[in-house]
Structure 1
């Protein structure tokens, strides 16, 4: 199989058909038996999506007219070729010839692909200068998202945009039920794996270089998990106590569920709730690997009357559905798939689930609201509006050495302390 052609098929599903990059990769990568081939295709796909707006501007300069919609695979193939020439250590003649070889299913496109890529090699500097004057290409994000981030964070938006385009570090959460962070760090070092402890989070390590989870000592036995540092902070902020009943809303894939259980072994119960039964299976799988137990339920968090049966909880973690703009570096397809019109709908859904969750919180209990977004309207403004509606709610200040204290809650901007963009607010319910 031509690897460039395989990458183009995957990318076409994202760019032309609107599939997530994860789903598109999952549909094609298993067909490649060689690990290095899979890694090469995955690197090309992530690279093209990560640099899409800059590459698309270049392609627009190189093409006299746009391709037809039915030829989205050829557009994707051209982007693969440009990405190799710009960003990969592939010899130019090999990048061009192998990309051209992937046109066999559409012979008419062979000459086009060859001409476009060779013209880029001749005129790269001139073409780059033209695209540098295009704001969308220069900042490599859609115009509307640039505007949103600039409005929200006028002094920080360029930092966020730059961080979005960098590959994220690989962070680990040490399972403190099985071993201390110091012991696991020593185990890594004995295996020749370098990692650094994170001062702001007692369970977190950041690897100097990413690797396959199978290479992590004790991974299959549950000694460690992969989880961004910002997400790891949730368990400590929730601070569940022995005897508490805990509800984790929108729990899949279960990283925060597991972290809560690892931190506190004496809970009365923990219910992991998610609307997607398929994703909920991942929670069960993760808990099984970690030798942890929790109840799981596929249900709509916005409609507790259909499942709660009068239950109340001392601790609730609401990891609210959001735009995901804090995790673009992990999921670069968000830049292509998310629409400006999505934001208002997400705000309304967040407010609805927040109201429903509040009904389930026992008097004297704590609700931790979290998103992986950096938009104020999903975060501090959402919490401000909620507090105005609920005199029985008190905001509990989060004192921390990470993020920025906001009028409500605490915000981490993407890349700060190597973390994803994340938001937390802590609410207490009157007795």
Structure 2
């Protein structure tokens, strides 16, 4: 290995601190990482995820070390270093290397250089008093669970018996799960392919394969030929749920209402010969649907449009089935996107729930009598799941809630399993409600 090609740690810490600063200013983690120079990106993503999973503790420690907040850029670097210094079984660097390189990053960042001595003093003090300072932060709920206090309170109300396990699951990394395309290869045959390639995996759900470690997706057997797609095991439930009871009909017209990037659209087409309209409000994201379907050698009609503004895109012919993967807080996929908990605000949930309600009501009008609508969110908050559907049923007498999983908890937290025949493994958090429209 040419070690001289590896970027120095101080540069990675500098870039990681900038990612944290960007997230604090409201930018998504994905966008912030996309802006990182390519040679640094993989290392910075790994460090950023580690920091975001420990940021609550780091912020509490910084408050103890320096009650008066330093300038934003300096605070981001200080909290980055403190997060990485918190005791961990898989700490990437030894303490003194990390501190020295953090100071180097401060000195070489013009906006932070004036605070380099201050950051040095804080970090050296932390090393001297670590056990005492860590003990102090145990009394801070956001530090202990590494989530905002409002988020923790909401989970305590929604899931009084499961909130701790939910938070713990959010702080673990989720597995890499694939969906096998049955039009190309059987799951058993694909598991054999993985074994031959030296990749350990287990079957999950009806179509899934959970890998025991991380790999470069493009290097997987048959990936470029469309044999598999990356999709969490819980998300893989959408297509079979919607098609259940409908798949025997010929010429089904299906709407995927918030379709980008197209994973669920593709799964529908892999499982049945249906006509799919994939709709999304964002033109750039619609382009991604095309790219994903092209790799899988599948075809759907795509359209840019706001699903809630039916008259702007609907041709007047009702749909037999509708998939509404509604915009939500993404509180069920925090372990894959650890920035989400720090980006969301308490007021976001009610606003998102209002959007979900608007979409449900609008799309119900384009569903054929006897047709089915599958409402799903990658959320564990009841306001975006169970309560949303209960409110919809109260005002729509033609809707019947069919047996569906309801809230599915991330990791091993599984209070609800209504229909699963095959174990789903270590999946993300989701909510599903399958609604049937009364026949005319």
Q: TM-score range by the shorter chain?
A: over 0.9
CA distance in 2, matches of 1:137, 1:128: 9
Q: Out of 6, 10, 13, which is 2:19 matched to?
A: 10
Tell me the residue number matched to 1:346: 352
Tell me the residue number matched to 1:237: 241
Count, aligned residues: 408
Q: What is the Cα deviation at residue 64 of structure 1? A: 4.3
- Partner deviation per Cα, 1:309-353 (whole Å, 9 max, x = no partner): 212110100011111111111111111111111111111111110
- Is 2:305 the partner of 1:305? no
TM-score (norm 2): 0.90
Contact preservation (8 Å) 2:233, 2:428: yes
- Is 2:57 the partner of 1:51? no
- Partner deviation per Cα, 1:51-98 (whole Å, 9 max, x = no partner): 21111111111114211xxx3221111122123322423122211111
Tell me the residue number matched to 1:39: 42
Report the more deviating stretch, 219-228 or 75-84: 75-84
CA distance in 1, matches of 2:281, 2:38: 32
Contact preservation (8 Å) 2:181, 2:270: yes
Q: Out of 411, 425, 430, which is 2:407 matched to?
A: 411
The RMSD of aligned alpha carbons is: 1.3
- Structure 1 unaligned residues grouped into runs of 5+: 404-409
Tell me the residue number matched to 1:169: 175
CA distance in 2, matches of 1:10, 1:139: 22
CA distance in 1, matches of 2:42, 2:292: 24
Q: Out of 88, 92, 95, which is 1:92 matched to?
A: 95
- Partner deviation per Cα, 1:132-168 (whole Å, 9 max, x = no partner): 0111211221111111111011001111111111111
SS of the residue 1:341 aligns to: helix
Q: What is the Cα deviation at residue 191 of structure 1? A: 0.3
- Partner deviation per Cα, 1:156-193 (whole Å, 9 max, x = no partner): 11111111111111111011110011111100000000
Tell me the residue number matched to 1:72: 72
Contact preservation (8 Å) 2:279, 2:307: yes
Tell me the residue number matched to 2:256: 248
Runs of 4+ in structure 1 off by over 6 angstroms are: none
Tell me the residue number matched to 1:262: 270
CA distance in 2, matches of 1:352, 1:232: 25
CA distance in 2, matches of 1:11, 1:253: 26
CA distance in 2, matches of 1:298, 1:83: 42
Q: What is the Cα deviation at residue 101 of structure 1? A: 0.7
CA distance in 2, matches of 1:97, 1:296: 53
CA distance in 2, matches of 1:420, 1:303: 30
Contact preservation (8 Å) 2:180, 2:229: yes
Q: Out of 422, 425, 438, which is 1:430 matched to?
A: 438
SS of the residue 2:234 aligns to: helix
CA distance in 2, matches of 1:122, 1:362: 68
CA distance in 2, matches of 1:258, 1:354: 22
- Is 2:211 the partner of 1:207? yes
Q: Out of 187, 191, 197, which is 2:193 matched to?
A: 187
Contact preservation (8 Å) 1:44, 1:83: no
Contact preservation (8 Å) 1:181, 1:202: no
Report the more deviating stretch, 377-386 or 18-27: 377-386
SS of the residue 2:44 aligns to: helix
Contact preservation (8 Å) 1:261, 1:292: yes
Q: Out of 272, 276, 281, which is 2:282 matched to?
A: 276
Contact preservation (8 Å) 2:236, 2:264: yes
CA distance in 2, matches of 1:263, 1:147: 40
Tell me the residue number matched to 2:416: none
CA distance in 1, matches of 2:235, 2:50: 24
Tell me the residue number matched to 1:406: none
CA distance in 2, matches of 1:156, 1:14: 28
CA distance in 1, matches of 2:431, 2:156: 18
- Structure 2 unaligned residues grouped into runs of 5+: 1-6, 413-424
Matches within 5 A, 1:368-387: 368-387=374-393
Matches within 5 A, 1:223-234: 223-234=227-238
Contact preservation (8 Å) 2:33, 2:41: no
Tell me the residue number matched to 1:134: 140
CA distance in 1, matches of 2:137, 2:203: 40
SS of the residue 1:102 aligns to: helix
- Is 2:152 the partner of 1:143? no
